[in-house]
Structure formats: C-alpha cells, structure tokens
Amino acid sequence: MTKFVEDLKDFLDQRLAIALVEVAGAKGSTPREAGARMLVSTAGTRGTIGGGQLEFMAIDKARQMLRQNETGKAALDIPLGPEIGQCCGGRVAVSVTLVDEGLKAELIAKAEAEAAGQPHLYIFGGGHVGHAMAVACALMPIHVVVVDTRADALAGLPESVETRLTPMPEEVVRAAPAGSAFAILTHDHALDFLIVAEALKRTDAAYVGMIGSKTKKATFKSWFLKTAGGSERQFARLVSPIGGETVKDKRPTVIAALAAAEIMTAFANHRAQAASTDAVRAG
C-alpha cells in the first residue's frame, strides 16, 4: 500500500463525519480540472480543488452540511470573477456529498487504482543529489524508486520512496514498466554509462537523464557509439546534464528541483504522445 492510500484511509477512519467536495465541471480558465476532489471534516481537510475563494466557499458549504447532518448532494455553480475575489474568468461546478461507507470504499478503490497507475521514476544513486531528488519527487503523484549498490546510500529516504539494493542496477532498468523515467547519478561514471546505455535501449522510456558535465556526456557518446553498439538516434534521447544548464547552481536541492520539473514535463509529454497514438489506432 502506498503512503498516499495510507493517508487517505487514515483521514477516512477518523471518528468524524466527512464530506467529499469534487469539481463536477470546469469551463474556461479554472484552477483545477473536472474530477479534482478534496475531503472535508469539521477538523481538517485533505486534498484541494484549487484554493482561493472557490475552495473556501466549498469548504463552508461542506461544513454546513456536516453540522446539519444533511443527506444527498449539494451543488454549487461558482463564477471565478471579481464578485468572489478571483480573476481566473472561468466557471466551476462543485458537488458536495457526505461520505457514507459505500462512498468511502469507492474512494479507497479509486485511490488504489490511481496509485497502481502512477508512472515510475528510478533514481540511480543515493548520494546528495539522489537524496534531494527523492525528497522532491516523493511529493509528486509518481512512484519513486532509489537504486544503489551501497546499503548506506539508501538510508534516510522518505517513507513513500521504494529502495532497491542490487549489485547490478542495469537489471532494474530492464524490469521497469513501460513509461518509466530513469535518472542516473551514481558515484561511478562507468556504472552510469552501463545504466544509461541500458535505459536508452528502452524505446518506451519517458525520460533518460544523466548527471554530469559536457565532457562526461561527450565521453559517454564516444563509448556508447563505438563500444556499446548504440545509435545516434538513441543517444539523442539522453538528457544531460539533468535539470538543464540555464540555472548555474549546482547545489543538490537546486538540481533536484530543476530535474523534478523536467521529469514531470517528460511524463506529461509521454502520456500525451501515448494518447495520440491510441487515438490514431482507434481511428
């Protein structure tokens, strides 16, 4: 069970009445899309439908229903304009429903399905940057796995991060699900090269990134093309250095933040490309 699902169950198991607030429809510019949801009790909330006055109004309605123990479902139609202090310009339909046992089970099942379908990010190397990336990406809706050959490098990671201790990290690449992202930043350049070469063979990878300098990338290219049997087309898919070169700051937390944004963009692009391919096949 993932930390995300555990947290949801903990919230639903509190001895308080709970309401589900969900974006039922969204037109124009809105902070969240249809399907975004949050849970509200008299003591707290979990999740978000976009914040601001929109969310405050929905929470107020949910708590009113909880206090009065109302049944059924309430609906709000909220224009995001000056009248509520927001300037998005769109319009949001929000539904508010008290959570019973049936809805509780439905929410848990949906969360488990979402967790099972999360894309995987494999971080090879549990050094300073690897740890910083794991911390940054643990907050994302993805499954993070840190892989290392050293047991001590896998200590102290967030609870939601999976760890793999293995003498052959390249085998983890081969076994990864389709659509995975691979960030390679081990303590050994030769090991980096082996893992990257294996990852670039995966035509279904969403992202392959390697930490390092221009010299390291050039050295890898020469080895990859001349010794590892790689192609120029495969090499062109390599992102190196991870996080880009625009921000000239090599502190681990900065690299991690830049790389996290880069990887989430790659996941989104990969999903869009897969959806487009499916649509063409269906047509």
Q: What is the pLDDT of residue 73?
A: 87
- What residue ranges of the chain have pLDDT lower than 50? none
Topology given in CATH for the domain delimited by 119-277: Rossmann fold (3.40.50)
Q: What is the pLDDT of residue 116?
A: 87
What are the φ/ψ torsions at residue 216 (nearest 5 degrees)?
-65, -45
pLDDT per position as a tens digit, 148-187: 999 999 999 999 999 999 999 999 999 999 999 999 999 9
Alpha carbons 243 and 212: distance in angstroms, whole number: 11
> Domain residues of the chain, as ranges?
3-115, 119-277
Asked if residue 262 lies in contact with residue 255, where contact means CB atoms within 8 angstroms, the answer is no
Alpha carbons 133 and 258: distance in angstroms, whole number: 9
Q: What is the pLDDT of residue 277?
A: 77
DSSP, res 143: E
H helices of the chain, in order, are: 3-12, 52-68, 101-116, 128-137, 170-175, 189-200, 214-226, 232-235, 252-282
pLDDT exceeding 90 applies to what percent of the chain?
76
pTM of the model: 0.85
Q: What is the pLDDT of residue 1?
A: 54
Q: What is the pLDDT of residue 89?
A: 74
